[in-house]
Structure 1
């Protein structure tokens, strides 16, 4: 599902309306293109720099270099975007020495546009639109110009210890009420065991839960943003998790911490709601638990529904403003995210659910013994294919998503540290975001 053209036009005006910088959305890429990728010759290939935080993505870069004589790419591994990578990218643009291609979350693309940090790559990639899932392609399109090539989404699923569920006689929770009941049984079974961790440190996780609950935090309408972080759907989700916290049914701890890793390994954390890419993390973190895990859909708020969400939308490849080789950079970005060999590698290393519309050529999605054996022979990709198809694609990311992530994380952490209600954290985030947008000269209803 793609955003209606009129709605996207409004979104374009809103992103471009920042008082900090005026975007020239219809501008064409700078840099030369004489038919040999920005002036490269067979004897002197164009040399590009690619920045990414995805583990083992060097395998895809190597595959590109092996198959392309006229372009060669050097990978620079950086900190994950919200944790400092984006700041590094933007500083390099301002200093005039940017990387050519960078990994960007879908949520961050409006931020980079507001900062005038992206090259218009329409002339180089627009013909490939039909290759990708429409809503993912549209995350990089503003007006009629293309600024990013989608890589993968992060549809949510629930990883769970099937052996523990079976030993306790727990049926898979299809609704959140059944999830609550399962949490009680699991908590009673062992003084150290919880159904999951409440990851107060993960804004993308918190946002995904709200999205799956039917919330829409940002809407572009009438040339202004409507901000609804403290809407009814979000408050209901917050109250549900408050109930779990108050009754000591979830462990309040930061995910990806040493304690959390140990809890996954020893069975003290029994489930993990996360994106499809989390498979690679789980297998790497708890290899000795192979055969004990399974994957199911996210519980529903009403029985019989099929509503899913994503972990921060997904990721794309974009060309930074100031690249000396935008045509070659766009060629690499397109190949990286559409070539069957590359997409297969990206899926294997945990980049997420492919953005390509036709996944039948992605070998690892058809048969992956290493992955399937870890989950007791289950084809977990069937779960994520259904989840990806059930994502509410009307969700819109605003400018200043980095501010949103920081504000939400800080406010939720303060709530759990002080014992104040979670709903207050979301209401404070609402206030923070309205102030931040208005402070940047962006209209808010």
Structure 2
């Protein structure tokens, strides 16, 4: 058994034991499979927030006459689609297949909201990258099929860097020096936004800095949100804030969109899927952008991270057609035609092992043109290989996200140190896990 497999086995033990201790199992349960009329396809529903994923669903329906999938668009995140999904499970009328972030799978597991799909997907394991497959495996059971990861890279305005004579920053020290040049070049211009609203972004920076916030050990969780690696990252961004070298604003806000469009924010550290967002947000800047690897803490290293891990598709507890739902989830994320569509629409970096047959990775004229002819997928392929796969997502990730964003925003508003915000988040998570009966070391 691999290190990753052992880690997730221990993780499952901790999560499930915690759930049992506080009796959190929801009332929804799988009933007898509903049989369609003779000659009619099995009808299943799929909930996802990914824009344009209907193209992949349509491809599945066109290739299958025994299963028909209806797409339901939901809002991403714990306060949107996730809450709707869990409520539907409790009410006994869930969708069959749903989109979940890797970070959310433990939350759904401890709420007994996922079907064990092991009998239907055991032959699919070798199709997927091992660490991504393991995000849906707990103990010896499979609960989700990986869709895509979100390896980090840095999108940057190559034209502005060239105009100012700045070499691409390969280290964080060089990033700091570039920030000073960019800030001095225009009173409205910043190297980056400090996105206090994005817990996945802040977590990715900490992960890339060598932090590992949640480690399952001896049927317990070791929580280290405020450790030295995170402190180094927090203190670096604190310096940028104190010297007015980054703009404090929420990304995806109207202000941020305008800054991306007009060149007042000239870099964006984000997942591979951000390409589609950037092209949609600032189409008039086509040809001016490029993508580079994450700056390193030590010159010559190659360490990367992800934006909240990635996304998976899971079958909800109570589905009347778990076998067909699982078949759809595997096809959606492994058939090369479908994966090519998912990559093109910005779903993330593919979870399948063999990416050579994915057409949209081999030839993407619209994408490459936007980045001045650069094949940006080479950057994200290397980033994905450099991700520290020992990172584990804990139960209550929605609590983690809310606590981190609240505490960091409070620190920024009050002018107090960011390291204190991470210490407060550490205390919040230990208290939340303990309250749910989950053992914490």
Check whether TM > 0.5. yes
For 1:326, which of 318, 322, 332 is the aligned residue? 322
Q: Could you say which residue in structure 2 is the equivalent of 1:20?
A: 22
Q: Could you say which residue in structure 1 is the equivalent of 2:200?
A: 204
- Across the aligned residues of Structure 1 and Structure 2, the Cα RMSD in angstroms comes to 1.5
Q: Distance in 2 between matches of 1:232 and 1:335?
A: 43
Q: Could you say which residue in structure 2 is the equivalent of 1:408?
A: 404
Alignment TM-score, normalising by the size of structure 2: 0.97
For 1:273, which of 260, 269, 272 is the aligned residue? 269
Query: Cα offset for 1:11?
Result: 1.4
Q: Could you say which residue in structure 1 is the equivalent of 2:54?
A: 58
Contact preservation (8 Å) 1:174, 1:298: yes
Q: Could you say which residue in structure 2 is the equivalent of 1:436?
A: 432
Q: Could you say which residue in structure 1 is the equivalent of 2:10?
A: 10
Contact preservation (8 Å) 1:42, 1:70: no
Q: Could you say which residue in structure 1 is the equivalent of 2:331?
A: 335
Contact preservation (8 Å) 2:195, 2:250: yes
Q: Distance in 1 between matches of 2:286 and 2:114?
A: 43
1:192 aligns with 2:188: yes
The C-alpha deviation readout for 1:40-84, integer Å capped at 9, x for no partner, is 466211111100000000100111111111111111101002341
The C-alpha deviation readout for 1:413-442, integer Å capped at 9, x for no partner, is 101111111001000000000000000000
- 1:292-331 matched pairs, under 5 angstroms: 292-331=288-327
The C-alpha deviation readout for 1:165-204, integer Å capped at 9, x for no partner, is 0000000000000000000000000000000000000000
Q: Could you say which residue in structure 1 is the equivalent of 2:42?
A: 46
Query: Cα offset for 1:239?
Result: 0.2
The C-alpha deviation readout for 1:351-407, integer Å capped at 9, x for no partner, is 000000100110010110000000000000000000000000000000000000000
Change (3 A) 1:251 1:335: same
Query: Cα offset for 1:29?
Result: 7.4
Q: Distance in 1 between matches of 2:256 and 2:54?
A: 28
Change (3 A) 1:205 1:429: same
1:148 aligns with 2:150: no
Q: Could you say which residue in structure 1 is the equivalent of 2:278?
A: 282
Structure 1 gaps of 5+ residues are: 33-37
1:131 aligns with 2:133: no
Q: Distance in 2 between matches of 1:2 and 1:49?
A: 34
Query: Cα offset for 1:85?
Result: 1.0
Q: Distance in 1 between matches of 2:86 and 2:31?
A: 18
1:362 aligns with 2:358: yes
Change (3 A) 1:29 1:148: farther
**Secondary structure at the counterpart of residue 352 of structure 2:** coil
The C-alpha deviation readout for 1:245-302, integer Å capped at 9, x for no partner, is 0000000000000000000000000000000000000000000000000000010000
Q: Distance in 2 between matches of 1:154 and 1:441?
A: 31
Change (3 A) 1:263 1:219: same
Q: Could you say which residue in structure 1 is the equivalent of 2:94?
A: 98
Q: Could you say which residue in structure 2 is the equivalent of 1:158?
A: 154
**Secondary structure at the counterpart of residue 391 of structure 1:** coil
Contact preservation (8 Å) 1:223, 1:443: yes
For 1:236, which of 232, 236, 239 is the aligned residue? 232
Q: Distance in 1 between matches of 2:2 and 2:78?
A: 26
Q: Distance in 2 between matches of 1:385 and 1:142?
A: 27
Q: Distance in 2 between matches of 1:209 and 1:2?
A: 26
Equivalent residues, number: 437
Change (3 A) 1:5 1:380: closer
Q: Distance in 2 between matches of 1:7 and 1:204?
A: 21
1:291 aligns with 2:293: no
Q: Distance in 1 between matches of 2:38 and 2:361?
A: 36
1:75 aligns with 2:77: no
Contact preservation (8 Å) 1:101, 1:329: yes
Q: Could you say which residue in structure 2 is the equivalent of 1:251?
A: 247
Alignment TM-score, normalising by the size of structure 1: 0.96
Q: Distance in 2 between matches of 1:3 and 1:136?
A: 13
Change (3 A) 1:290 1:83: farther
